[in-house]
Structure 1
């Protein structure tokens, strides 16, 4: 009832004004002041203006992603029981760090012979699992790396590493941040968090990813010169490097696809080293795709091949993995 009666009063007042009744100066002043306030509010709080001012990323005309300067790492660390490799004497810690307004969970595995009081700290590896694999599910490889002497920070990637390209394209078109950009940013923040752990040598850091994780690892390495190199296991780019830009009708879609393709960043990797390990008989990503990505890359680079009919890390990859890590993080 109160809303209707209030509306009636407003209608009557409007009729008086429109019939030629003189409006007092205080009323004119108040109306003018309100219009000014509303105008300022519209400028300051226009959603499109807000988006443009707060975007933490940029895309070049060539489709290369870049981020503005990152804030200081904010994280917590708690030592936990190692339920995933209980026979190993490693130290396992649960790490939670802030990234683009979210809390990212990670497991920090430290070789038993490393400690904050030792004269030599461990080299560190950011470890990105493949799609559908959690940080816990990747601890088998993390334990293998620990036996080689390397600490690992293994992430729970957003969507557990799975991607929805169509949804991300819509976000990109709307001026919003695609989830894949957030996943790359998470990897960059993880490298920062790992570098300041007391057991870690910040001068000896690398990133390793399996399958989809390898794609994000390549892009992150290209964007972070502090990383000595990247190892991609059972991974490849998407091949947008082979597309002629002049033949593309939708330039915005092209720029987006270029921005999420690791092939786009291969020319920016050097002097960091690219290492690909792939099976000739990979059941998910063909060896031909991995070889194409390797051919796009500049030196320094290396590629190793196995023969298992599987996807992801296998024991036969260990000698080549150990060899390359010793070169990267010597």
Structure 2
């Protein structure tokens, strides 16, 4: 991670007093001692140094994020009424967990026949969609036998790249980094549930949620794979680094582009499901990301003029989740 730190050196010269007399030697020695102490204090308590020491993430030269070792998850959980599929015998729970200095809300849906060996899927909605809005897909997955943890992403999945770049330049944590970390903490929370087999976990994201899903899966080897629905990378890798005037901005853009992480994703599998007539993210962009990915990978296409999950995607979802979490 490239971070700016600043420090100032203060040089003082011995001056004659207004009467022309020199400052006494004891005073000079005392002043020198105080300057030394002040210098040591500045080294240890420089605010920029403190920021660097406390940041929980680093960035490689290739633009790939890494985070400090995560502590045990801290969360609360309580049963809640299932307003989204009341006829379903599922168990629905409201979860609140600590992540990156904040609280993340999620809905945990557990199939009625779940046991300690049930597989689990972390669900990341698209921008502007809440955990409640993702319950339609969660119910579909429950019918297939998968427990789900659907997150309320920060800003409901919306991003402000320029604001995050400002934070990055200041040596502070961009919100998008926090959003990736939230997914990693959600993995820990889901793993801790007694009904869930921690060795059978995957992450699924729609649209912008798919981008965070790919990055998180690349950073956490406990995840068996990632399914991206109606998503793609940004194509930052197509920019020639030699032609970039702002190296800091380029490195930041690399770090938030899921395409950057495709080389470190294996052995976890990438699955992409995309409509040929997607109304938000073109099929061509999805194909570019898929072409960059290494094996194991799979891609499926539908034809609706829409964006996000549709019923026609269900057979592909069922097939690939069975392969990922068998």
Deviations 1:242-275 (A, max 9, x none): 2222222222111111111101111111111100
Residue among 273, 278, 283 paired with 1:282:
278
Distance 2:59 2:82 in 1: 41
Could you say which structure has the higher helix fraction? Answer: 1
Distance 2:279 2:293 in 1: 24
Classify 1:300/1:21 alpha carbon distance in 2 versus 1 (closer, same or farther; 3 Å).
Answer: closer
**Aligned-pair CA distance for 1:23:** 7.5
Deviations 1:49-80 (A, max 9, x none): 11111121111111111112112211111111
**Aligned-pair CA distance for 1:131:** 0.1
Deviations 1:81-104 (A, max 9, x none): 111221111111111111111011
Q: Does 1:74 pair with 2:74?
A: yes
Q: How does 1:190-269 map to 2 (within 5 A)?
A: 190-269=186-265
Unpaired runs of 5+ residues, structure 1, are: 1-16
Q: How many residues align?
A: 310
> Counterpart in 1 of 2:94?
94
**Aligned-pair CA distance for 1:28:** 8.2
> Counterpart in 2 of 1:293?
289
Distance 1:308 1:21 in 2: 88
Unpaired runs of 5+ residues, structure 2, are: 1-16
Distance 1:205 1:22 in 2: 73
Distance 1:205 1:21 in 2: 76
| TM-score for both structures, normalised by structure 2 | 0.90
Q: Aligned with 2:159: secondary structure? A: coil
Classify 1:305/1:38 alpha carbon distance in 2 versus 1 (closer, same or farther; 3 Å).
Answer: same
Superposition RMSD in Å: 2.0
> Counterpart in 2 of 1:129?
125
Q: Aligned with 2:318: secondary structure? A: helix
Q: How does 1:106-185 map to 2 (within 5 A)?
A: 106-114=106-114, 118=115, 120-185=116-181
Q: How does 1:11-90 map to 2 (within 5 A)?
A: 19=19, 35=35, 38-90=38-90
User: Which protein has the larger Cα radius of gyration, Structure 1 or Structure 2?
Assistant: 1
Distance 1:37 1:192 in 2: 45
